[in-house]
Chains A and B, each alone.
Chain A
Amino acid sequence: MKNGHTDVLLIEDNPGDADLVRLRLVESDSGVNISCVDRLADGLASMAKQSPSVVLLDLNLPDSHGADTFRRVLEKAPGVPVVILSGQDDEALAMKALHQGVQDYLVKGDITSGHLERVMRYAIERQALLRTLEMSRHQQLEFKNQFLSHVSHELRTPLTCIHQFVTILLDGLAGEINADQRYHLGTVLNSVHQLRAMIRDLLEATRAESGKIRIEARCITISDLIQQAVSMMAATAKEKQVGLEVGLDSRIPFVYADPDRVLQVLVNLIDNGIKFTPPDGSVLVRACIVEADPSMVYVSVADTGRGIGPEAKALIFERLYQDPNSIDNNRAGLGLGLFIAKELVELHGGKIWVASEVGNGSTFSFTLPLYSLAKLLSPVITYESRLREAVVLVKVELTPLPGVTRSGWKEICEQCLETLRRCVYVDKDLVLPVTGSVGLSETFFVAASTDLERAEIMMKRIREQLEAGAGFKAAGLLKVSATAVALPAAEDGPLEALVQNTADRITEMVMLASDESPIALSANGDESARTK
C-alpha cells in the first residue's frame, strides 16, 4: 500500500486458510509484510512486541473461541484495526463484532485480492479517523475546562470591586447612610454573594465532569455536620419564615466521608428545601440507620414545598436542569447544585435520590458509608489467618503557625497524609482515617504490623519525609511519637472477634490521644513503654 509497508498480523490456525490469505496478499503486490501465527496467545505476544498496521483474525483458534477472541484482541490493542476472517456459518457473530469495535469482516472462500486490499486499507483509515475524533473530543473538553476556569477568574475581578465598594458604603466608611440606602445596599450585597456562589458552582461542576474533585475521607460524626449545616442556614430560613428542624438517631456510628464535601451537599439540599417551601412551611433534616442496609447512614432533607412532578424527578440531578415551574422564583441559580451534590455523594460510594408528589413536598435522601476500623485494620493485624504479635501506633501531630488560613491548613494536612501514605507498606501498614474535621492542630495515626524496633525506623522516615516538605516548616510544628499495642494470643477465640477487639482498643487509644492527653509511651525501645 501507499506510505511504505503495511505490517499485517494474520492470526489463523487453519494452514489452508492462512495460505490462501497469504496468496491473495502477494497477488495484490502492495508492499505488505505478513507474519502469521496460529494461536491467540502468540498473536497477543506479537502485538505487545510490535504493533501491526492491521490484524486479520480468525475467531476459532485452539486457545480461544468466538466473541472472546476479538474481545481479547481489542482489549490488548485498542488502537489497532481488526478485520475478522469469518466462516459462512458465523457471519452473525462477525456482524456483532462490528458493534464492539472491530473494523470489518471478510467471509472466507469469498476473498479476492482487490477486495482484501481495500478492506484492509479502509480499516486502517477508519481507525485513524476514530483516533483523531477521540483526540479532538479530549481537546474540546480540555478547552472547555480552561475556558470556564478563565471566565470565572475574569468574572471575579469586577465582582471583587463591587463587593469592596458595597461593603465600604454599608460599613459607613464613605459617610453615614440612611435606612433605605442600607436596605438597598444589602440587596446588592446579597446578589454579590449569589453571583459568587454561581461562579464557584461553575468551576466545581467543570471539575466534577473532568474527574478532578478530590475526596479526603475521614472518620466523622454526621450529627455534628448536620447541626453545622443547619446553623449555617438558620438565618436564611428565618428570613423566609420557614421552620428548620433536625431529627437525629442518637445511635449513629461514625461515618467515613469528607466533612467539607458532606457539608456542601447538606447546605445545598437545605438551601433548595427553603427556597421551594412557602412561608410557614418547614424543612426537616434527619439521619438514621436502616436495618436492611447496615453499612450506610441515611440522611434526608424533607420540605413541605409544592413537590416535584414525575418528569422533573427523572431529570433533577442532571446538569443545568431547572424546574420550568419555578419561573416565579427568578433566582433559581445555574441548575448545577444537585448535579454537584450527586457527583459528591457518588464519589463517596453513596447514592442520592428524591421522593416527591406534587403538592406534598419533597424528600431528598442520600447515603454515606459507615466507618469500620476493624474492616480497615484487618490486613494489618492478621497474617495467614492468625493475629500478629503486636501493632505499633505511630502518632504524628501537626500544629499550625499563626497566619495560616483554614484552607491553607487543610492543604497542608492533606499533603501530610499523602506523605504518610508513601512511608508505609501497602497491605501491611495503614494510615488510620483522621477523626473529625480539620481543626487547629491535627493528629494522624499510622498502624503498623511490626515491632518497636521497626517502628523507630518508620518514625525516623516519617519525620524526615515530613520535614523535607517545604510547606511544613513554614506552616506547622511537627511532633512524631509511637506506641505499641500488644495483641492477645491467637488461641483466644474466633479471629473476627479478636480483630474487632483489637480495633476497638486501637480506636480507644486514638480517641484518648486525640483528646489532648499526650501518649505516655515513646518509641525509645523502653519495655515499660508497651501497653500490656
Chain B
Amino acid sequence: MEKPKILIVDDDPDLRRALKIRLRANHYETVQASDGYSAISVAQKEKPNLIILDLGLPAGDGYVVLERLQDSDTLSSIPVIVLTARDPQSNEQKTLQAGAAAFFQKPADNNELLDVIRATLPKAWPGVTLPS
C-alpha cells in the first residue's frame, strides 16, 4: 500500500527530524528540503502529496516558494500547510491568499496539525489510501 508523501520544508534540521518522526508514526512518508530553492527541486523530483512549509527560509522565503508552486503546471495542485514562527495577524491571510491551504503558528498542537493534514490530503489526491 502506497503511503501519502509529505515534503517538510524548514531550515531547522531539528524540527525537520521531529516532524519526520511524528509523521512517520502516523503512516506518512516524508521527504525534506532546507531552503526555498531546494523546496521546488525536491517537489519536482519527489511529487509529494502535501507540503509543510516554513516562511523564514534561506534562498527564497516561504512566499517565494508559494508563488513558484502556484506558477508551476505540475506543482500547483499540491496542497501547502504553512507552519511558521511568524505572527498570524500579518501572515495568515497573506499566505492563504498566496495559495496555502492552512496556516499554523509554531509551536502548533500536534493533533490539530494532523487533523488538517488528513482533511487537506484527499481533496487533491482522492486516490490515496489514508491512514486511519
Contact = CB atoms under 8 A, between A and B. Distances in A.
B partners with A = yes
Interface in B66-104: 79, 85-88, 92-93, 96-97, 99, 101-104
A174 B24 CA distance: 12
Contacts of B86: 153
A420 B116 CA distance: 30
Of the candidates A156, A161, A402, A408, the one having the most CB atoms from chain B within 10 angstroms of its own CB is: A408
A67 to B, nearest CB: 44
Interface in A164-216: 164-165, 167-168, 171, 173-174, 192, 196, 203
A50 interface: no
Interface string A468-482: 001100110000000
Contacts of A167: 22, 110
A151 to B, nearest CB: 11
A160 B106 contact: yes
Contact of B123 (A159, A403, A411): A403
Nearest to A472: B97
Contacts of B92: 405, 407-408, 411
A149 interface: yes
A163 interface: yes
Nearest to A411: B93
Contacts of B79: 403
B120 interface: yes
A154 B12 CA distance: 12
A492 to B, nearest CB: 47
B1 interface: no
B15 interface: yes
B70 to A, nearest CB: 11
B contact face: mostly helix, strand, loop, or mixed: helix
A157 B21 contact: no
B93 A403 contact: no
B81 to A, nearest CB: 8
Given A153-B87, A164-B22, A173-B22, A405 B107 contact: no
B99 A474 contact: yes
Interface residues of B, number: 31
Contacts of A471: 93, 96-97
Contact of B102 (A163, A403, A412): A403
A405 B102 contact: yes
Contacts of B102: 403-405, 408
Contacts of A153: 85-87
B14 interface: yes
A518 B14 CA distance: 51
Given A165-B18, A168-B21, A471-B97, 13 more contacts: A149-B87, A153-B85, A157-B15, A164-B107, A402-B120, A403-B79, A405-B104, A408-B96, A408-B102, A411-B92, A411-B93, A415-B93, A470-B97
15 contacts: A154-B85, A156-B106, A160-B106, A161-B14, A164-B19, A164-B22, A404-B102, A405-B102, A405-B116, A407-B103, A408-B92, A411-B93, A412-B93, A471-B93, A474-B97
Interface of B: 12, 14-15, 18-19, 21-22, 25, 79, 85-88, 92-93, 96-97, 99, 101-108, 110, 116, 119-120, 123
Interface of A: 149, 153-154, 156-157, 159-161, 163-165, 167-168, 171, 173-174, 192, 196, 203, 402-405, 407-408, 411-412, 415, 470-471, 474-475
The 5 closest A-B pairs by CB, nearest first: A164-B18, A156-B85, A163-B107, A160-B106, A160-B107
